[in-house]
């Protein structure tokens, strides 16, 4: 059961592209992708609009909610 959401090693990044609380994308980030995700979050947080933070919200772990980090360019 290593892929169980509560036992996996993945992290979740909460991204609000325009800064609105009701406009959210959750990214599922694997351990080897964390440095890339942190640089993305730093870049977004330095800008005028939007923000990105690491989250432990339960709704991010629901199957089908979070987008895989490697698929972020499709958004």
Read off the pLDDT of residues 16-75 as tens digits, 9 standing for 90 and up. Answer: 988 777 899 999 999 999 999 999 999 999 887 789 999 999 999 999 999 999 998 887
pLDDT of 2: 52
Give the pair of three-digit tokens for residue 22.
């009701």
pLDDT of 54: 95
pLDDT of 31: 94
Q: Is residue 31 one of the residues assigned to a domain?
A: yes
Residue 64 is classified by DSSP as T
The residue range of the domain holding 27 is: 11-74
The number of folded domains in the chain is: 1
Residue 67 is classified by DSSP as E
* Other Cβ atoms closer than 10 A to 52: 20
Q: Is residue 1 one of the residues assigned to a domain?
A: no
Q: Is residue 4 one of the residues assigned to a domain?
A: no
* pTM score, whole prediction: 0.83
pLDDT beyond 90 at 12? yes
Q: Is residue 57 one of the residues assigned to a domain?
A: yes
Q: Is residue 47 one of the residues assigned to a domain?
A: yes
């Amino acid at each position: 059961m290593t892929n169980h959401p509560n036992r996996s090693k993945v992290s979740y990044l909460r991204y609000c592209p325009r800064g609105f609380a009701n406009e959210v994308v959750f990214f599922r980030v694997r351990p080897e992708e964390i440095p890339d995700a942190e640089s993305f979050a730093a870049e977004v947080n330095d800008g005028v609009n939007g923000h990105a933070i690491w989250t432990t919200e339960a709704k991010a772990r629901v199957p089908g909610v979070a987008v895989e980090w490697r698929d972020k360019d499709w958004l």
